[in-house]
Amino acid sequence: MLFWGLSYVWSKIVFEYYSPLTTVFLRLVLSSIFLLGYIMIMQKAEKVKKRIDYWLFPLSALFNPFLYFLGESYGLNLVSPSVSAIIIATIPLFTPLLAFVAYHERISSLNIFGILISFIGITVMILKPDLSFRADPLGILYLFGGVAAALIYTLILKRLTVRYSPLCIIAYQNVIGIFYFLPFFLLFHYEEFIRVKPNFELISSLLMLAVFASSLAFIFYTVAVRNLGMSKANVYSNLIPVFTAIFAFFTIGEQFDLIKITGILIVVIGLSLSQKSKIRIYNKRHKKDINLRS
């Protein structure tokens, strides 16, 4: 979550040189080189084990990195890092709704209350008192598109973690993602790419995005989903906007007025409430299982 929180600021720096699509494409290329190099050195390559996985890997890569990063990057290009991080951090907020639709899991009243509280916080951050937008509405739409893509991706990811290591899952998805982005990069952004003269700020920010945000962060998250489950792992997403806000303030000088700070606090409180009951239910069931076994 720390690496993902910092990624919003690193991306904002790279956007001063490249378009969002070029940024994501280069980020995936560098990440794939890093991950595949590690796999070759450590001899940890895994073969596809089931025929259905030949479809699941491209499908998962379609939603993440392709659709998710399109939504996140183009949204971040139009909206401040802190607001972007807050909207992306609502992914765990919608997880219970997705679980209800996909697996018929019960939604508690506290889940619903937390969702409503968080939406109030988002509204405070993006709307002015006269109901006009404080943030670019197209950017907000892009970001919520990224949220939708991430939710569908999580369902597919859950099936892949049973059969493959997190390292191989993220490496294969990033490589496949390169081919999704490649036609758009060559058609619309290649000339822009060759005109830019890279400097230390650009290269270092791209490397940070590739190694920490597109590689290590996703590997750590996949390990967490496999060992803790979706609900407990997603609780930690509440930290993303906090890390982003602090880092954006000290590095790119993003200004925080009382309204923005209030909105962030309301959203984080809502996110915490929406996850709290789920953790308690999980713990109770876990304790009950232990008692039955003993």
pLDDT digits (tens, 9 = 90+) for 72-98: 989 988 888 878 887 887 777 777 677
Q: From first to last of its 294 residues, what are the pLDDT tens digits of the chain?
A: 899 889 988 998 999 999 999 999 999 999 999 988 888 887 677 888 888 888 999 999 999 889 998 999 899 888 888 788 878 877 777 776 776 777 666 667 776 777 777 777 767 766 666 656 667 889 989 999 999 998 888 888 878 878 888 888 889 999 999 999 999 999 999 998 999 999 999 999 999 999 999 888 888 887 887 777 666 676 677 677 778 877 877 777 766 677 777 877 877 777 677 666 444 444 444 444 333 333
Average pLDDT, the chain: 80
Residue 62: the pLDDT is 95
7, 212 in Cβ contact below 8 A? Answer: yes
Q: Give phi and psi for 127, each to the nearest 5.
A: -115, 140
Nearest residue to 63 via CA among 180, 168, 160, 213: 180
Domain that holds residue 248: 2-293
Q: Return d(Cα 271, Cα 252) in angstroms, integer.
A: 26
Copy the structure tokens of residue 93: 């907020």
Residue 236: the pLDDT is 74
100, 106 in Cβ contact below 8 A? Answer: yes
Distance of CA 108 to the CA centre of its chain: 25
Residue 133: the pLDDT is 64
Q: Return d(Cα 100, Cα 126) in angstroms, integer.
A: 28
Residue 261: the pLDDT is 77
Cα separations in angstroms, 36 against 4, 26, 64, 174, 178: 21, 15, 18, 10, 13
Residue 103: the pLDDT is 62
Q: Return d(Cα 75, Cα 249) in angstroms, integer.
A: 19
Question: Rounded to 5 degrees, what angle do the CA atoms 32, 36, 39 make?
Answer: 150
Number of structural domains the chain divides into: 1
H-helix or E-strand containing 228?
Answer: helix 217-228
Count other C-beta atoms under 10 Å from residue 235's C-beta. 19
Percent above pLDDT 90 for the chain: 29
Nearest residue to 168 via CA among 64, 3, 52, 43: 43
**HSE-CB of 169 using CA atoms within 13 angstroms:** 28
Residue 126: the pLDDT is 65
Residue 291: the pLDDT is 39
